[in-house]
Amino acid sequence: MTFLYLNSDKMGHGEPQLGRKLMASFLKELAESSVQVDMIGCVNDGIFLTTEGSPVIDSLKRMKEDGAQIATCGTCLDYHQRQDKLLIGDVGTMDQTVDIMGMADKVIQP
């Protein structure tokens, strides 16, 4: 099983606008590739990828159509007051994240 762990809405460190552009490009390329992603977990600022205003929702929808399950951290949604803004996937928990990371053959973290 391949787990895509998204703990930010940016890729890399440095200029935030560039990081967001890189993340959007990465997720688009991943969605269009032959790489099978089985589970996507979004935590911390990664929740901005699955909630209202996300610039990558089409890439996530494509991965979901290809069989990926998507979970967004419930604690993080509460913290950022975005519980009602989730656009794709389910609300997840930290124990699920731990279990999935432990079972995964591969963890991808951009």
8-34 pLDDT, tens per residue?
999 999 999 999 999 999 999 999 999
- Residue 7: the pLDDT is 97
Give Rg (Cα) of the chain.
13
- Residue 21: the pLDDT is 98
Low-confidence ranges of the chain (pLDDT < 70): none
- The domains of the chain are located at 2-108
Helix/strand/coil percent split, the chain, to 5: 45, 20, 35
- Residue 93: the pLDDT is 94
- Stated pTM of the model: 0.94
- Multiple choice CATH, 2-108, 3.10.20.30, 3.40.50.300, 3.40.1260.10, 3.40.1390.10: 3.40.1260.10
- Residue 76: the pLDDT is 97
| Helices 57-65 and 16-32, packing angle to 10 deg | 20
